[in-house]
Amino acid sequence: MKVVVAIDSFKGSLTSMEAGEAAKRGIMKTGNHEVEVRPLADGGEGTTEALISGLGGQFINIDVTGPMGKKVTARYGILRDNKTAIIEMAEAAGITLVQKDNLDPWKATTYGLGEMIIDAIERGCRDFIIGIGGSATTEVGIGMLQALGYKFYDAAGKLLSYTFEDLGRISSIDDSNVEKMLDECNFNIACDVKNPLYGKNGAVYIFGPQKGVKDAEKETMDDMVKHFAKVADEKYGSDNDRLPGTGAAGGLGFAFRTFFKNVNLKPGIEIVLNAIELEKLLCTADVVVTGEGRLDGQTAMGKVPVGVAKMAKKHGCKVIAVAGAVTEDAIACNYEGIDAFFPIVRGACTLEEAMDKNNAIKNMEATVEQIFRLL
């Protein structure tokens, strides 16, 4: 039997590869099967860890400008081909890097993300997978752009800063000093947000409050975002601001679409599944094992295991899901390609005991073994 194992992380307990390898050991106890384990993530937190650990590569630590201007140590990964960089924007400009009382959308910047991109380019990378979830920013990526060499001026020709405070004053854009290698780079942006750049469903109105935007500021800030979009669209002959996803990460989606040449904004799961070349494996697979920490009704609405299941069904695979916990409404997953699902907890225990790494590994291995004894 040929089996493909692709399980999302059990957050706080098992990484994707730890879960997958435990499942593989359980499968192999039932026969001499051909088992391929692949890392799984949704493009957000944990994607770098999953892809580097599962596909091979190296982690890079670099000191960059943090969201509030102070230096932070950010980590990204380079796959073993030495050409593909895996970056999580939140490492440099994430909301978790700022204490709630210190959130300030007028000053928060993505400058550090630009520094990460430059570092990867200098190391030879030309393909990028970038997750842009969890930002502390609303400045439409002007920080990242300035780190890459773009300059923004007001009507009097004064060079402006890389924070939201100057966004509404931008009158012209100078790209003569932009990193030339950017034109050779391909950017796959993991973006699960469909919001446009501005308006009532845009970056400021929908996502601004969690980043510190006050109700009284929304209209003014939204107008500033709209102004910048008009200047950028006129400069580059684009019309991206109403496109789905351009409002992601405080407008970072717009910045990538407008200022970079080779860009794809896609759901994170699509990018990850392509990176791990899952479909090639599914062409000849009999069974797929997927899962996540908690399987519920939301899983059925397009989360990682369902993304795997839908691809598997295209190739006639049987799909089994395992989870740390299963809710009553998880039955919806059966209608989205998952043939059967199983919780791995094997007896009464506390949450802490269930999430203990050693316990979770044993439970995963034992549960999957019994599933495959039946198969």
For residue 294, what are the β-bridge partners? 325
HSE at residue 231, side-chain half, CA atoms within 13 A, is 22
HSE at residue 314, side-chain half, CA atoms within 13 A, is 11
Residue 313 · residue 285 · CB < 8 Å = no
How many Å apart are CA 183 and CA 204, to the nearest integer? Answer: 30
The owner of tokens 């910048």 is 228
For residue 85, what are the β-bridge partners? 78, 128
Enter the tokens of residue 169. 């004053």
* 2-39+277-374 is classed CATH 3.40.50.150: no
Quick one: pLDDT at residue 256? 97
CA 328-333-339 angle, to 5 degrees, is 110
CA 124-112-198 angle, to 5 degrees, is 110
Q: What does DSSP say about strands 71-79 and 84-88: parallel, antiparallel, or unpaired?
A: antiparallel
Predicted TM-score of the model (pTM): 0.89
Q: What is the pLDDT along the chain (375 residues), one digit of tens a residue?
A: 999 999 999 988 999 999 999 999 999 999 999 999 999 998 888 899 999 999 999 999 999 999 999 999 999 999 999 999 999 999 999 999 999 999 999 999 999 999 999 999 999 999 999 999 999 999 999 999 999 999 999 999 999 999 999 999 999 999 999 988 999 999 999 998 899 999 999 999 999 999 999 999 999 999 999 999 999 999 999 998 889 999 999 999 999 999 999 999 999 999 999 999 999 999 999 999 999 999 999 898 888 999 999 999 999 999 999 999 999 999 999 999 999 999 999 888 999 999 999 999 999 999 999 999 999
Give the start-end residues of each E strand in 150-198: 151-153, 172-174, 186-190
Q: Which fold has domain 47-269?
A: Glycerate kinase, domain 2 (3.90.1510)
Write out pLDDT tens, residues 319-331. 999 999 999 999 9
How many Å apart are CA 63 and CA 92, to the nearest integer? Answer: 9
Q: What does DSSP say about strands 318-326 and 340-343: parallel, antiparallel, or unpaired?
A: parallel
Q: Do domains 2-39+277-374 and 47-269 have the same CATH topology?
A: no
The owner of tokens 């916990």 is 325
Quick one: pLDDT at residue 110? 98
Residue 78 · residue 60 · CB < 8 Å = yes
For residue 35, what are the β-bridge partners? 3
Residue 154 main-chain phi, psi, to 5 deg? -85, -175
Contacts of 101 (CB under 8 A, 6+ apart): none
For residue 36, what are the β-bridge partners? 4
Q: What is the CA radius of gyration of the chain?
A: 22
Quick one: pLDDT at residue 141? 97
Write out pLDDT tens, residues 261-293. 999 999 999 999 999 999 999 999 999 999 999
Domain boundaries, the chain: 2-39+277-374, 47-269
How many Å apart are CA 52 and CA 47, to the nearest integer? Answer: 8
Tell me the CA distances in angstroms from 238 to 198, 219, 224, 226, 371, one per residue in order.
Answer: 16, 24, 18, 14, 53
Helix (H) / strand (E) containing 73: strand 71-79
Which residue in 205, 206, 197, 203 sits closest to 241, CA to CA? 197
